[in-house]
A and B are shown apart, each in its own frame.
Chain A
């Protein structure tokens, strides 16, 4: 197909539009086996993706599934269905479009498999699920195009790897499949192209006009922000004023908990009762849909939201983006800003609100980076093997398969191009037998090799379990929250199991913007009432915490080299000047360490600027060294820029703690036995199918059938240290939560140059750390001592001191 058919050109004209150059270009190159479009938000990206499909279907000759559209969000699939209906209806196209997500009814899903629509809108997980059915080849027969929307977001997670493995399978079923990727502005378009294309095919990239520069600034407030915290409640009056001055505002937060608190505070200030809604991933589906519908109808003046609104839903009239809290990552900020002013060629308007003093510095650095279009990002690693293990299970569900042919197919996914046959075989073996050195499960293998050499499920009924455990999104265990006495009513949302466990009847917390009172746990549901008479505890949600990128950290350290700070507000400049006077400002080429007593404990503050994950790891490593030196560390807390450790003894000489060789050695042995590894193990073992999804959750009756996956990890380390799952865990932890790479980067730039400053009190830069959430206990001698003291105290209080 060379160009758009006349009916389409007429339609554009009738709407008073003209097709964007990149839309025409996409149509002209529709025959390309793969094609990546990079366009700013609002550039008509999605329509550009669909135009060739609509054109090919226009004559009504086509029967069966033609195009699959995959998006990372369920809501996006539903939204696209609505958006496609107008061109289809107005041009009278004989095209059937349906979505299929976790929210689609079972009847509808079943029907779709027997009689698929022309265009199926879905998510990576729902697509993977379709591939587990024996009838998949029939359903996908004739499929010719796949559109991957928001591919930049998918490429950052395992969901993207799972999707690309699924596309490799689809390609094997329907050769000649064309792939189209739609991406926001990214720092590495070639990387995304290689991720999308069938390996080793080339993938041409189209760049749409990036549009005008955004209008972006930092919020000026009457009062300076607080020293710590992420809520930015201080800025409520100014944010309210900004909402009043604009038509529709999106107020982005980095975490769900912060969104909840902010929303609550915003309403306290909302004298005019402007319609303001809240939207995040922990709210009940019905609740989210209500807000989405109100937004689409233009009924809301503002939505307080999280990353769930980062992606493509077309809200039309948003004219202001407010980002609460430092953006951590310049690329994400730019993409968020793009959410405003969907009218192409109008500048997006955005305001950044630093949540605390330190974030002012971070925001100013981020603004500079945006102006210089200096995007950040890390290169993609090779395809994770836990996802491959799950993919093998998915393949086995569909029916017997030949391992060699399957291996070749897997390698057509770019991320798995370098996978060796030995690595593949190890994954297959783990899926089949557990992969243990002790071959204990010969009788109970999950997969069996038949005499004809094909692999299949030992017990076909196991397919049900595979389907239930499918997906790579790691949920923490959550419990539904309902009003008491309304068992069948709508749930208000979900809270983390750990948070629910910390509640006692009478406690109050925020959910969906309302304060509720915890009454008790009934089955797997948290029951609440509206009798809220106490200040709310804050629900802790599983919000992904992004580390401040290396590039942004470098900019901040660069700013510290200045003698004065005309770009910073007076109060912040004064703060930095005070820090420089009583101690030092951290520098990129040296490691600043401060020691001071506070509140009866000795403290050490290390300014590593390596991002929150690496700083967390550094905290774990350094406290381990301190434990060995008998310094009795009790715990630590980390942020993107520093780690604060407290303990019973003072650190006299910190230099040996940062010896690169010791740290690396400590890292190796520490890796075996730390909480981050155990958490990573649990996540990866679940993805790989070695653990079931809700493993270890305390189920309703409190029966003791399940036990902590930590025990499995410890046992494996002890008896089977070479096990594949441990290798995978290590790989995962290194790239994600452990982030040792950035500690290496820190060690390289500081070269053992430690500046140790001993003071008699807390320093200006360390003070905010005392208010940080997320303290990590060190389970060592010091804590054992305190635990013993505590049990003695409790026994004495109970008059039982002579019992023990």
Chain B
């Protein structure tokens, strides 16, 4: 198996090599920071004309994970779109793909800082979601009780010479890697990120298979 099981507030969760999180007990698939429409937004703002293929690439990977896990619920942890205009400008073909993925299951868009309003794309729109012992939101909150799952930071780990997007957890909180194709990363030891976790924390590296590694203590 290329995935890795991890435990948060007593629940067993599966970190997938793609950067998605599967919660088999509840039939939930979680992805964070899709940043769909990023190239369109950059062009609109007069920046570089990047290859406009990140939306199809991200959705294709997501379709693969949905196919493999057959979830009853899909939670998108915010920053699903690079901004609200990008969500509006999304091509019809991609809109259809999203509709197809939503068919027969619950789909929740959690608000992110990039997409802080409702989206006209099916599914429900929430600031945060509670399911059993777990709470799902975009940005980790100080003082949150155990069981918080969030995104936002795009954590990336460095082991030997490899740099990989990763899940970070200390058993109390979990931060997901960015799932979107055009997304950068924040080093796992950056203070703003590292301070969110206990001294003893574990990173689950994405890649061809998920690898667990201890997070270095704060620099």
Contact = CB atoms under 8 A, between A and B. Distances in A.
B21 to A, nearest CB: 16
B82 to A, nearest CB: 10
Interface string B23-55: 000000000000000011001101111111110
B159 A791 contact: yes
B68 interface: no
B181 interface: yes
A441 B48 CA distance: 11
Given A708-B184, A719-B56, A702 B46 contact: no
Nearest to A723: B51
A712 B52 CA distance: 10
B160 A787 contact: yes
Interface string A778-794: 01000010111011001
A795 B214 contact: yes
B57 A704 contact: no
A91 interface: no
A183 to B, nearest CB: 37
Interface stretch (B70-78, B102-110, B134-142, B205-213): B205-213
Contacts of B161: 777
B187 interface: yes
A794 B51 contact: no
Contacts of B187: 698, 702
B65 to A, nearest CB: 18
Contacts of B48: 689-692, 695
B43 A704 contact: no
Interface string B149-172: 000011000011110000000000
Nearest to B163: A708
A790 B4 CA distance: 16
Interface in B110-164: 153-154, 159-162
Contacts of A179: none
B208 A784 contact: yes
Contacts of A711: 181-182
Contacts of B213: 790-791, 794-795
A787 B183 CA distance: 24
Most chain A C-beta atoms within 10 Å of own C-beta, residue among B44, B48, B200, B214:
B48
A705 B184 contact: yes
B186 interface: yes
Interface stretch (A97-105, A195-203, A457-465, A737-745): A457-465
B212 A791 contact: yes
A777 B160 CA distance: 11
Contacts of B49: 433-434, 436, 441, 444, 446, 690
A313 to B, nearest CB: 38
B175 interface: no
A426 B31 CA distance: 39
A707 B184 contact: yes
A368 to B, nearest CB: 41
Most chain A C-beta atoms within 10 Å of own C-beta, residue among B6, B47, B153, B213:
B213
Contact of A803 (B46, B56, B212): B212
Interface in A657-702: 689-692, 695-696, 698, 702
Interface in B169-210: 178, 181-187, 190, 192, 200, 202, 205, 208-209
Given A715-B53, A784-B208, 14 more contacts: A433-B49, A434-B50, A441-B49, A444-B40, A698-B187, A704-B153, A706-B184, A711-B182, A715-B181, A719-B57, A790-B159, A791-B205, A800-B200, A803-B6
15 contacts: A436-B51, A436-B52, A441-B40, A444-B49, A446-B49, A689-B48, A705-B184, A712-B50, A715-B182, A787-B162, A794-B213, A795-B214, A797-B214, A800-B202, A800-B214
The 5 closest A-B pairs by CB, nearest first: A434-B49, A440-B52, A804-B212, A707-B184, A444-B43
Interface of B: 4, 6, 39-40, 43-44, 46-54, 56-57, 153-154, 159-162, 178, 181-187, 190, 192, 200, 202, 205, 208-209, 211-214
